[in-house]
Amino acid sequence: MTVPDPRAWLRVGLGMATIAFGANLFAPLLPAYRLHAGLSQSQVTFLLAIYVLGLMPALLVGGPLSDTRGRRALIRPALVLSGFGSVVLAAGASGSFLALSLGRFIAGAAIGLVMAAGAAWLQELSTGPSHLGARRATVSLSLGFAGGPLMAGLIAEFLPRPDLLPYLVHLVLLVAVLPLVWRTPGGAPHADSPRRSWFSRSVLSRHFLWAVAAWAPWGFGAVSTSFATLTDLVNDQLSWPVAFTGVIAAVTLGTGVLIQPTATSFGRDLVPPAVLGLGLVVAGMLASAAVAFTRSPWLVVLAAVLLGAAYGVMMVSGLREVQKIAPPEELGAATAVFYSLTYVGFFAPFIMSYLGPVTGYQTIFLTGAVIAAVSIIPVTRIAGGNGPASRLR
């Protein structure tokens, strides 16, 4: 039996982080496109969300395809597609809504191909505790998701050509990373593997539906609310709105990374991690309501920390649950379903851009806090019962 290179996971993680870096470059540029390209708040939040339309099909096809064709067969084209997405976005520098929409769609397809395949590959390359692969996958993605907007926000605020330079930086990173990831050993399909399934029946289990699916959209719903909606609410109070948006995105996702070790220490003997995540969502929604009432940038920072912590706990918890309940030959397919559900939350800012002016943002956030709080009851009941029976019913 061939022993995997103990550092191979770093190459895969670096590839995932670089693609995530490019996928989230757009987040802090929302106010720039709104202020300088004449796009409306609804248009820029749509551009934030449209990449989910590219991501979800790529996830749902790429996850099971990686079970069949191998993980490497998906990650290589994902790197190339990520670069093409940045080229198209750079071509839309004038504020062309069509070019920006197409570029975001392509960026979504790239991250969709890599998320499930990369997470499954990291799990296969990780030796140690069962949660190690899930933690490495979430940290790799989160570092890219955080680093991209931080860099783009600072460039867009203080350097010329904010509509071009961030994408060029991403292309340079891709050129540097591509050879390393391309030559990563492993990731090929196993010749003796049984016929792989395009759909994992494990996602229909009672355990998955209540311990994962019931709260999954809160994952990226919390993140996108932080850097797309809350930053817009305090925009009039800021001297450097683009940089502030980038910093808030980095704080949100960076908190998600830092809480990973704490999240993995929770279990059924203490508090199910999903319950901890929902509790943090409640706190984050209450802090968001305070932002809507006071328009205080400092409260945005507090809300970003709480919502980022919720994201980190939920992502690593969800991946861990999926890796427990899905058989190895269906791991890519099941992971794809989980990630697709989390990305539904990316439509939250777009929906709030229409509902907020009508109902009031405070009402929306308080309603979200109530929904998250009520969700704790069934999630505690199911997630707390980690026996096999609870997963198969």
Is the residue at 1 inside a domain?
Answer: no
Is the residue at 2 inside a domain?
Answer: no
pLDDT in tens, 227-239: 889 999 998 898 8
Is the residue at 355 inside a domain?
Answer: yes
Termini Cα distance of the chain: 36
Domain total for the chain?
A: 1
User: Region 2-31: what's the mean pLDDT?
Assistant: 82
Q: 152 is in which domain, residue-wise? A: 8-186+198-392
**Residue 390: is its pLDDT beyond 50?**
no
**Residue 1: is its pLDDT beyond 50?**
no
Percentage of the chain modeled with pLDDT above 70: 89
Give the distance between the most distant pair of CA atoms in the chain. 63
**Residue 386: is its pLDDT beyond 60?**
no
Is the residue at 3 inside a domain?
Answer: no
pTM (two decimals) = 0.80
**pLDDT attached to residue 188:** 61
Is the residue at 192 inside a domain?
Answer: no
| Residues contacting 72, CB < 8 A, separation 6+ | 121, 184, 186, 187, 188
Distance CA 77, CA 30 (A): 28
Please name which of 220, 206, 214, 208 lies closest in space to residue 256, comparing C-alpha atoms: 220
**pLDDT attached to residue 194:** 55
Is the residue at 26 inside a domain?
Answer: yes
CATH of the domain at 58: 1.20.1250.20
Is the residue at 231 inside a domain?
Answer: yes
The better pLDDT of the pair 46, 385 is held by 46
Is the residue at 297 inside a domain?
Answer: yes
User: Region 69-84: what's the mean pLDDT?
Assistant: 89
**Residue 103: is its pLDDT beyond 60?**
yes
pLDDT in tens, 246-266: 999 999 988 988 887 776 666
